[in-house]
Amino acid sequence: MRSFGRFFVVLSLSASMVVGAGSAQAPQRPTSTPYAGDLSIFEYPERDKKLQIDRVMDLLGIRPGKSVVDIGAGSGWFTVRAARRVAPGGTVYAEDINAEAIKYIDQRAQKEKLGNVKTVLGAPDELKLPPGSVDAALMLKVYHEIAHPIPVMKELRAALRPGAKVGIIDRNGSGTDHGLNLEIVVREMGEAGYRLEAKYDFTKADGQDYFLIFGVK
Protein backbone atom coordinates (compact mmCIF):
# COMPACT_ATOMS: atom_id res chain seq x y z
CA MET A 1 0.00 0.00 0.00
CA ARG A 2 2.01 2.72 -1.09
CA SER A 3 -0.55 4.89 0.37
CA PHE A 4 -0.34 4.39 -0.81
CA GLY A 5 2.05 0.92 0.88
CA ARG A 6 8.90 0.00 2.29
CA PHE A 7 16.39 -0.63 6.04
CA PHE A 8 14.19 -3.56 4.70
CA VAL A 9 12.05 -2.31 1.97
CA VAL A 10 8.58 -3.29 2.59
CA LEU A 11 6.02 -3.07 -0.01
CA SER A 12 2.93 -2.32 1.97
CA LEU A 13 -0.88 -1.80 1.51
CA SER A 14 -2.01 1.79 1.34
CA ALA A 15 -3.11 2.39 -2.13
CA SER A 16 -3.44 6.10 -1.93
CA MET A 17 0.12 6.70 -3.02
CA VAL A 18 1.18 4.56 -5.85
CA VAL A 19 4.54 5.09 -7.41
CA GLY A 20 4.02 6.55 -10.81
CA ALA A 21 0.65 8.14 -10.09
CA GLY A 22 0.48 11.36 -12.00
CA SER A 23 3.61 10.62 -13.98
CA ALA A 24 3.98 12.31 -17.34
CA GLN A 25 4.92 8.99 -18.87
CA ALA A 26 2.32 6.51 -19.97
CA PRO A 27 2.07 3.46 -17.68
CA GLN A 28 3.99 0.40 -18.86
CA ARG A 29 0.98 -1.79 -18.06
CA PRO A 30 -2.50 -1.45 -16.50
CA THR A 31 -2.47 -0.25 -12.89
CA SER A 32 -5.10 0.20 -10.19
CA THR A 33 -6.47 3.52 -9.01
CA PRO A 34 -4.68 4.44 -5.77
CA TYR A 35 -6.70 4.33 -2.58
CA ALA A 36 -7.26 7.81 -1.18
CA GLY A 37 -9.69 7.17 1.67
CA ASP A 38 -9.60 6.54 5.39
CA LEU A 39 -6.22 5.02 6.34
CA SER A 40 -7.69 3.29 9.38
CA ILE A 41 -9.22 0.57 7.17
CA PHE A 42 -5.81 -1.13 7.15
CA GLU A 43 -5.87 -1.56 10.91
CA TYR A 44 -8.44 -4.35 11.30
CA PRO A 45 -7.62 -6.68 14.25
CA GLU A 46 -7.13 -9.98 12.40
CA ARG A 47 -4.75 -8.60 9.78
CA ASP A 48 -1.58 -9.73 11.60
CA LYS A 49 -2.85 -13.30 11.64
CA LYS A 50 -4.20 -13.31 8.07
CA LEU A 51 -0.97 -12.00 6.59
CA GLN A 52 1.26 -13.93 9.06
CA ILE A 53 3.37 -10.79 9.27
CA ASP A 54 5.77 -12.20 11.89
CA ARG A 55 6.63 -15.04 9.51
CA VAL A 56 7.07 -12.51 6.70
CA MET A 57 9.53 -10.54 8.82
CA ASP A 58 11.41 -13.70 9.77
CA LEU A 59 11.87 -14.62 6.10
CA LEU A 60 13.07 -11.12 5.25
CA GLY A 61 15.62 -11.25 8.07
CA ILE A 62 14.08 -8.36 9.95
CA ARG A 63 15.64 -8.45 13.41
CA PRO A 64 17.16 -6.10 16.00
CA GLY A 65 19.64 -3.63 14.57
CA LYS A 66 18.49 -3.89 10.95
CA SER A 67 17.27 -1.09 8.69
CA VAL A 68 13.93 -1.57 6.96
CA VAL A 69 11.93 0.42 4.44
CA ASP A 70 8.17 0.20 4.18
CA ILE A 71 7.40 1.33 0.62
CA GLY A 72 3.96 2.81 0.29
CA ALA A 73 3.59 2.80 4.03
CA GLY A 74 0.06 4.24 4.14
CA SER A 75 -1.19 4.14 7.72
CA GLY A 76 2.12 2.75 8.98
CA TRP A 77 0.59 -0.65 9.80
CA PHE A 78 3.74 -2.51 8.82
CA THR A 79 6.05 0.33 9.84
CA VAL A 80 5.20 0.15 13.53
CA ARG A 81 5.51 -3.64 13.63
CA ALA A 82 8.89 -3.55 11.92
CA ALA A 83 10.04 -0.71 14.21
CA ARG A 84 9.35 -2.79 17.30
CA ARG A 85 11.11 -5.78 15.73
CA VAL A 86 14.36 -3.95 14.83
CA ALA A 87 14.70 -2.06 18.13
CA PRO A 88 17.10 -1.33 19.67
CA GLY A 89 19.50 0.04 17.13
CA GLY A 90 17.45 -0.52 13.99
CA THR A 91 15.63 1.95 11.77
CA VAL A 92 12.45 1.82 9.73
CA TYR A 93 11.91 4.21 6.84
CA ALA A 94 8.23 4.76 6.11
CA GLU A 95 8.06 5.90 2.48
CA ASP A 96 4.97 7.25 0.80
CA ILE A 97 4.07 9.86 -1.81
CA ASN A 98 1.00 11.00 0.10
CA ALA A 99 1.86 13.89 2.41
CA GLU A 100 -1.19 13.14 4.57
CA ALA A 101 0.03 9.58 5.11
CA ILE A 102 3.45 10.87 6.12
CA LYS A 103 1.85 13.22 8.63
CA TYR A 104 -0.33 10.37 9.94
CA ILE A 105 2.71 8.11 10.46
CA ASP A 106 4.73 10.86 12.16
CA GLN A 107 1.89 11.37 14.65
CA ARG A 108 1.47 7.64 15.15
CA ALA A 109 5.17 7.06 15.80
CA GLN A 110 5.23 9.89 18.32
CA LYS A 111 2.12 8.56 20.07
CA GLU A 112 3.52 5.01 20.20
CA LYS A 113 6.98 6.27 21.26
CA LEU A 114 8.77 4.76 18.28
CA GLY A 115 11.78 6.99 17.88
CA ASN A 116 13.36 4.71 15.27
CA VAL A 117 10.78 5.54 12.57
CA LYS A 118 11.84 7.99 9.86
CA THR A 119 9.32 9.14 7.28
CA VAL A 120 10.26 9.76 3.66
CA LEU A 121 8.00 11.74 1.35
CA GLY A 122 8.66 10.23 -2.04
CA ALA A 123 7.47 11.34 -5.45
CA PRO A 124 5.95 9.54 -8.42
CA ASP A 125 8.69 7.33 -9.85
CA GLU A 126 11.14 8.45 -7.14
CA LEU A 127 11.57 6.79 -3.73
CA LYS A 128 14.10 9.29 -2.31
CA LEU A 129 15.79 6.77 -0.03
CA PRO A 130 19.34 7.24 1.27
CA PRO A 131 21.92 5.23 -0.71
CA GLY A 132 23.35 2.03 0.76
CA SER A 133 21.11 2.05 3.81
CA VAL A 134 18.59 -0.77 3.43
CA ASP A 135 18.81 -4.35 4.65
CA ALA A 136 15.37 -5.31 3.47
CA ALA A 137 12.29 -3.86 1.80
CA LEU A 138 8.64 -4.78 1.86
CA MET A 139 5.92 -3.72 -0.56
CA LEU A 140 2.56 -4.76 0.84
CA LYS A 141 -0.22 -4.72 -1.75
CA VAL A 142 1.46 -1.80 -3.53
CA TYR A 143 3.32 -3.17 -6.52
CA HIS A 144 0.23 -3.40 -8.75
CA GLU A 145 -0.18 0.38 -8.47
CA ILE A 146 3.29 1.28 -9.73
CA ALA A 147 2.95 2.68 -13.23
CA HIS A 148 6.67 2.50 -14.09
CA PRO A 149 8.00 -0.38 -11.97
CA ILE A 150 11.29 -1.07 -13.75
CA PRO A 151 12.89 2.38 -13.29
CA VAL A 152 11.53 2.59 -9.73
CA MET A 153 12.95 -0.80 -8.80
CA LYS A 154 16.27 0.12 -10.42
CA GLU A 155 16.35 3.21 -8.22
CA LEU A 156 15.66 1.06 -5.17
CA ARG A 157 18.82 -0.96 -5.83
CA ALA A 158 20.95 2.07 -4.94
CA ALA A 159 19.43 2.08 -1.43
CA LEU A 160 20.11 -1.61 -0.79
CA ARG A 161 23.02 -2.96 1.20
CA PRO A 162 24.84 -6.13 0.11
CA GLY A 163 22.61 -9.14 0.71
CA ALA A 164 19.45 -7.07 1.13
CA LYS A 165 16.07 -8.68 0.49
CA VAL A 166 13.06 -7.14 -1.22
CA GLY A 167 9.66 -8.59 -0.35
CA ILE A 168 6.51 -8.17 -2.41
CA ILE A 169 3.10 -9.23 -1.14
CA ASP A 170 0.33 -8.93 -3.70
CA ARG A 171 -2.43 -10.91 -5.36
CA ASN A 172 -2.99 -12.25 -8.85
CA GLY A 173 -5.00 -9.92 -11.04
CA SER A 174 -5.12 -7.83 -14.19
CA GLY A 175 -3.42 -4.75 -12.79
CA THR A 176 -6.68 -2.79 -12.73
CA ASP A 177 -8.34 -4.88 -10.00
CA HIS A 178 -5.83 -4.25 -7.19
CA GLY A 179 -3.77 -7.25 -8.20
CA LEU A 180 -1.14 -8.29 -10.74
CA ASN A 181 -0.23 -11.74 -11.97
CA LEU A 182 2.84 -13.15 -10.27
CA GLU A 183 4.56 -13.90 -13.58
CA ILE A 184 4.49 -10.22 -14.56
CA VAL A 185 6.05 -9.18 -11.24
CA VAL A 186 8.86 -11.72 -11.65
CA ARG A 187 9.52 -10.60 -15.21
CA GLU A 188 9.59 -6.91 -14.36
CA MET A 189 11.81 -7.41 -11.35
CA GLY A 190 14.18 -9.44 -13.50
CA GLU A 191 14.39 -6.59 -16.00
CA ALA A 192 15.17 -4.24 -13.10
CA GLY A 193 18.14 -6.40 -12.04
CA TYR A 194 16.67 -8.69 -9.38
CA ARG A 195 16.49 -12.46 -9.06
CA LEU A 196 13.63 -14.39 -7.46
CA GLU A 197 14.93 -16.15 -4.35
CA ALA A 198 11.73 -17.53 -2.81
CA LYS A 199 7.99 -17.78 -3.45
CA TYR A 200 5.27 -18.40 -0.85
CA ASP A 201 1.47 -18.52 -0.82
CA PHE A 202 0.73 -18.53 2.92
CA THR A 203 -0.40 -14.89 3.20
CA LYS A 204 -4.20 -14.80 3.57
CA ALA A 205 -4.33 -18.40 2.29
CA ASP A 206 -6.93 -17.41 -0.30
CA GLY A 207 -5.26 -18.99 -3.31
CA GLN A 208 -4.66 -15.58 -4.87
CA ASP A 209 -2.17 -13.83 -2.62
CA TYR A 210 1.55 -14.43 -2.99
CA PHE A 211 4.73 -13.40 -1.20
CA LEU A 212 7.89 -13.09 -3.28
CA ILE A 213 11.44 -12.45 -2.05
CA PHE A 214 14.03 -10.97 -4.40
CA GLY A 215 17.75 -10.30 -4.21
CA VAL A 216 19.95 -8.23 -6.47
CA LYS A 217 21.50 -10.16 -9.35
The answer, yes or no, to whether residue 102 has pLDDT greater than 70, is yes
CATH number for region 8-216: 3.40.50.150
Q: How many Cβ atoms from other residues are within 10 Å of residue 59's Cβ?
A: 18
In whole angstroms, what is the distance from residue 66 CA to residue 170 CA? 24
pLDDT of residue 124: 74
The answer to whether the CB of 136 falls within 8 A of the CB of 11 is no
Phi, psi of 157 (to 5 degrees): -55, -35
Mean pLDDT score of the chain? 86
What is the model's pLDDT at position 36? 62
- Cβ neighbours of residue 106 under 8 Å, at least 6 residues apart? 119
> To the nearest whole percent, how much of the chain has pLDDT over 70?
83
* pLDDT higher than 70, residue 210: yes
Average pLDDT over residues 184-203: 97
For 5-46, how does the pLDDT look when each residue is reduced to its tens digit (9 = 90+)?
433 444 443 433 334 433 445 556 877 666 666 677 777 788
Reported as type and span, the H/E element at residue 91 is: strand 91-96
